[in-house]
Structure 1
């Protein structure tokens, strides 16, 4: 779907908004101190993550934020995710940016010469975001950043790193930004089912440093592009304000343009896109503004890879955006602006954005996810990857967790045998009503066995070799699918429920140990 969106806003209000700090959380990964840089407050990351190692690197010529990183151990953690969790408002959408500067952080003398940065995955709220590969930028002495727009699924937003099959040293991160976006920004996308992964955002004809905050109120990065191809300074008589997506006024100060009524051709975005069948869908927005209307209207047609994108576009000083929500692209992209027959002026373009559209509708059943958080909180030392979505992406399940597939993603197995767990078993485990197997044996769990009568699918319950006290709940006898209950070597007491003994085919082990338990009549 192609839409023409022209909106107006008082310039005074826009200028006032530019002076406001970015709304959101800016995290200096690996740092232990707050800092203020260019009018923005950066926070240490210790309040948002509980694992990994903070390290200092040499980042000559780079931002102060890049002088620290947090790394996550590769050994024993293939396909395990390490997650930051940031409190959010689930009714708002957010710009998420991760920044990486390697600085040789994994180089360890002669034993581990990882001169190149590792390649690894990044994940948001259980959705596979993409692969982090910073090698090319690092070899040029530059940092790398990745940006996406997501709607949170709950009260916390998780941003995770994870080693994949190609990761050869510890994953790392330098900075994480989670910025609140206004409702009218990127509001043509259904963020209940999709997310946007930034491919390119450029200010055309701009030849200076990238445009950022405070010019852009959301601290979006507008990189220079095409400064060697038909650049022009824009007219000083523009009155752009309140345009859709609220691009900064500075992007309208330069443009790529033809002085004569002839086609303007751009090979943009600058890098080829993946070639897959069927092709990925992309969200495209092109921004224009011109005062040529005072003399002769500047009118032209737009094609993308020779397919009509928009016809008879006439520019105005107040600005206009042409956008597509889902446009299939692959390989090199050819955008051509061709003047209309009646136009006496050549075409122009000021700026553009391209996002890959990512399906983002899947999630673990909310009740299960909430119950797992409560269970995690009842353990003193839960597995280090128990953050983010328990079941997604499917290659990155929480340690010891097995999930069902299909439209309702449920947790079906908990296997945490012999991992040194301490703490108690939260009653919330009873809300995991798809569980068939609970394996918590050979740990150091204490407290009582919660009421599990809601777990109608439960077949195997192993709690042996712990410090559990209290009684065997009589309600276990109502679980007719039970085939194994192992509770030996605990501190249980009281009678063995008769209803348990009556379940056909049940193997019940309560000795040795449990000296105060009363066996059923023989």
Structure 2
């Protein structure tokens, strides 16, 4: 058989960090596109919050009634659609505030013909600055889940971004963030992206998640007619291991038919990009009380290579066996076999299976000090540009008006900022001085007021500064004028230089100008001029 891959945090964070029986500590549930500020989900008991505090773009849409009645999960009834911009992002905060905590994040999608176009879109999903996966919705009724287990790079923010690839308008139904046990799903490098999670259970269309599953994994019932289903009424007595599998999942299993005696699976990773490494989590529990003359023992093979064994599942005790593979057969598939040993009187069994794909999330994010500075500037002045996600990375989604430097082993740094004609009001904020690697700063044609601040002279890499067409007052600070003697290209309004004598020690502006050897072109009548020092 074939398995295929079908900053408004204040009140929210307080509620989530405290936690309760229905909202465990660190769990964050967002209904994207919901018109309700919050509600309690009937299935899980989780409180779902509207996404209005987590993204500033997109529009709320409602799926067609014909598809709404097909699901009792309220999170799929609305979507947020992003018709403008290439990249649109959600900003989340890992609520435990600990960079050493492993998280699972799940993005959920159901098209539901919300736009009456009957064209299910395809688009890309990014986790921070790293490509996560491509979302292929295919049909209006399809529910698509994308999950990944990872360590956040920052304990301050987490970006989930949807990228328009020209194949329809991106949308999203729900976002769910869950802290997990750091001792589970461990890989030496990289993060693990879910390929498939299966409850080998003859109950058709059954979906298992919280509260049965403490980590809120979504288990899909997996049925197969050629295998023999077995179960136990002692499911509640099954001892759990650190993976905390739900008792209903472990209380059912499949055996192969008596003709073959071995249990085989074929996995088709055709949608995965090479190179890849798969992690297989086999979950076993003996759920039949064997007689003294009976035994169940088997070996695990992956692509014909011995992986683990001989393995004897324990009675009513969960055991997890992990195997990996970075190879496929000649036909591009992965073959898994559970083969009975010669000493075994009973065939192999399998209760549950999880398959993960090792994913590289190693791209450097923008320097955190620069991120804080530019976010503060954005917030202070209410910048209306589509500034979302990481400012500098990936380079293809660089924020408008920014230029950055990129090093192979260092974080990107903001080196140029152009906020000309951006509707800025108020004084020039000290936050600009926090962009310590700035080489060019253009604040021209705004409504900035007050004096030219001296802290701009502390930007040691600054080579170009344009402050023209504002409501600034002089004088230009001496330190900034001194910087101009050493190569800084400074542009200011005429009235700023007209007040230049205020803080000078020379007896006249003429003497001061002669002493510092600068030339003022005779174009002051146009209201502003370029000041060049020689």
TM-score, scaled relative to structure 2: 0.80
Residues 382 and 421 in structure 1, CA contact (< 8 A), matched pair in contact too = no
* CA distance in structure 1 between the partners assigned to 2:384 and 2:351 by the alignment: 51
- The structure-2 alpha-carbon separation of the partners of 1:304 and 1:513, relative to structure 1 and needing over 3 Å to count, comes to farther
Conserved 8 A contact 2:40-2:46? yes
Q: Deviations over 1:317-342 (max 9, x none)?
A: 21211114x64255422111111222
Deviations 1:70-128 (A, max 9, x none): 22233xx23x3333334522332222112222233334xxxxxx421222222222222
Q: Distance in 2 between matches of 1:521 and 1:161?
A: 47
Does the 8 A contact of 1:482 with 1:503 survive in 2?
Answer: no
Gaps of 5+ in 2: 1-18, 505-511
Q: Which residue of 2 aligns with 1:14?
A: none
User: 1:11 maps to which residue?
Assistant: none
Other-structure match for 2:92: 85
- 5 Å-filtered alignment, 1:242-257, equals 242-257=240-255
Equivalent residue number for residue 53 of structure 2 = 47
Q: 1:26 to 1:472 in 2, by over 3 A?
A: same
Q: Distance in 2 between matches of 1:502 and 1:382?
A: 44
Gap change, CA 1:228 and 1:177, over 3 Å in 2: same
Match of 1:27 in 2: 30
Q: Whole-Å Cα distance in 2 between the matches of residues 464 and 176 of structure 1?
A: 44
Distance change (3 Å), C-alpha of 1:377 and 1:198: same
- The Cα RMSD (Å) is 3.6
Cα distance, 1:203 vs structure 2: 0.7
Report the Cα distance in structure 1 between the residues aligned to 2:180 and 2:435, rounded to whole angstroms: 35
- In the other structure, the counterpart of 1:281 is 277
1:7-406 superposed matches below 5 A? 21-23=23-25, 24-33=27-36, 34-38=38-42, 39-58=45-64, 59-62=68-71, 63-74=73-84, 77-78=85-86, 80-86=87-93, 88=95, 89-91=97-99, 92-107=101-116, 114-136=117-139, 138=140, 141-152=141-152, 153-164=154-165, 166-169=166-169, 171-186=170-185, 188-189=186-187, 194-208=190-204, 209-237=206-234, 239-258=237-256, 260=258, 262-268=261-267, 271-274=268-271, 276-277=273-274, 279-291=275-287, 295=292, 296-317=294-315, 318-324=317-323, 327-329=325-327, 331-361=332-362, 362-384=364-386, 386-405=387-406, 406=408
Instruction: Say yes or no: does 1:434 pair with 2:443.
Output: no
SS of residue matched to 2:493: coil
What is the CA deviation profile of residues 325-382 of structure 1, one whole-angstrom value per residue up to 9, with x for unaligned ones? x642554221111112222211111111122222223222222222222222222234
1-side partners of 2:488 and 2:137: how far apart?
51
- Structure with max Cα Rg: 2
Q: Is the 8 A contact 2:484 2:532 kept in 1?
A: no
1:3 matched residue in structure 2:
none
- Give the number of equivalent residue pairs: 483
Partner-residue secondary structure (3-state), 1:378: helix
Higher relative contact order (CA 8 A, sep 6+): 1
Q: How does 1:365-514 map to 2 (within 5 A)?
A: 365-384=367-386, 386-405=387-406, 406-408=408-410, 409-422=412-425, 425-450=428-453, 451-469=455-473, 471-476=475-480, 477-478=482-483, 482-488=487-493, 494-495=499-500, 511=524
Task: Indicate if the aligned counterparts of 2:33 and 2:173 stay in contact, CA closer than 8 A.
Answer: yes
Q: CA separation of 1:375/1:340 partners in 2, compared to 1, >3 Å: closer, same or farther?
A: same
Tell me how far 1:213 sits from its aligned partner.
Answer: 1.7
Unaligned stretches of 5+ residues in structure 1: 1-16, 108-113
Q: How far did 1:407 drift?
A: 1.7
